[in-house]
């Protein structure tokens, strides 16, 4: 048989305190109560476990509590409300995130990607353009890249290449003609 001195020597409280005692007596009632309010037995079990964690980690909570049972229900209700707020915030955040990239038609979400045949045709056109650009002479290709892709003016392109502005205009004109002839 164990006595209070044996429990104290082992580090076990022999007197659990009024809150913990009320929790142990009403655990099943708390689960049923919160199952009805939350609509989920698993969520209620988690909540009742959180009540236990709150009251067991802080022994001073029980000091000055006049009605331990009422305190447990209030603590559980507060935890439940915190969870509901947290869930609503997460849903609002997720909904806003989805709305940033989603396209809807008639209230239904639709894919914002092009059709597979359009994507394939675009890839084929791009491959043809790249092939046509690679067929250009190196100075013509460089002038075209500097002017069209990097946004330099004809004068800036001429300066970067060390040629006249007229040469750059001829290079770009030849590149455009070549692309128009070879690209689909």
By the 10 Å C-beta count (0-12 exposed, 13-18 middle, 19+ buried), 130 is classed as exposed
The CATH class that applies to domain 121-182 reads mainly alpha
Whether 5 shows a pLDDT value over 60: the answer reads: no
pLDDT of residue 79: 95
Whether 1 shows a pLDDT value over 50: the answer reads: no
Report d(CA 2, CA 54) in Å as an integer.
Answer: 28
pLDDT of residue 59: 64
Which of 93, 94, 68, 85 is closest to 16 using CA atoms?
Answer: 68
Q: Which residue has the higher pLDDT, 119 or 8?
A: 119
Q: DSSP 3-state assignment of 155?
A: helix
pLDDT of residue 101: 67
* Average pLDDT taken over every residue of the chain: 85
- Residues 19-54: pLDDT tens digits? 888 999 999 999 999 999 999 999 999 999 999 999
**Average pLDDT estimate for 107-136:** 84
Domains of the chain by residue range:
12-97, 121-182
- Residues 95-118: pLDDT tens digits? 888 777 666 677 776 766 778 898
Read off the pLDDT band of 180 (50, 70, 90).
confident
Phi, psi of 8 (to 5 degrees): -65, -40
Whether 9 shows a pLDDT value over 60: the answer reads: no
The CATH class that applies to domain 12-97 reads mainly alpha
Q: DSSP 3-state assignment of 81?
A: helix
pTM, full prediction: 0.47
CA-based torsion, 12, 13, 19, 22: positive or negative: positive
Q: Where are the alpha helices (DSSP H) in the chain?
A: 4-9, 18-38, 41-57, 68-101, 116-134, 138-144, 154-161, 165-182
């Amino acid at each position: 048989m164990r006595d209070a001195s044996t429990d104290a020597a082992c580090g076990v409280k022999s007197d659990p305190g009024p809150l913990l005692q009320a929790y142990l007596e009403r655990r099943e009632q708390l689960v049923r109560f919160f199952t009805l309010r939350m609509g989920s037995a698993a969520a209620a079990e988690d909540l009742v476990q959180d009540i236990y964690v709150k009251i067991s980690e802080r022994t001073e909570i029980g000091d000055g509590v006049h009605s331990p049972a009422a305190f447990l229900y209030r603590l559980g209700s507060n935890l439940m409300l915190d969870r509901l707020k947290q869930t609503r915030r997460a849903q609002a955040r997720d909904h806003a995130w989805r709305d940033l990239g989603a396209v809807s038609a008639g209230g239904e979400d639709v894919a914002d990607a092009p059709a597979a045949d359009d994507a394939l045709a675009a890839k084929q056109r791009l491959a043809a353009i790249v092939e046509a650009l690679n067929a250009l002479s190196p100075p013509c290709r460089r002038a075209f890249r500097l002017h069209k892709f990097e946004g330099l003016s004809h004068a800036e392109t001429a300066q970067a290449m060390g040629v006249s502005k007229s040469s750059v205009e001829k290079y770009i004109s030849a590149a455009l003609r070549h692309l128009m002839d070879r690209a689909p």
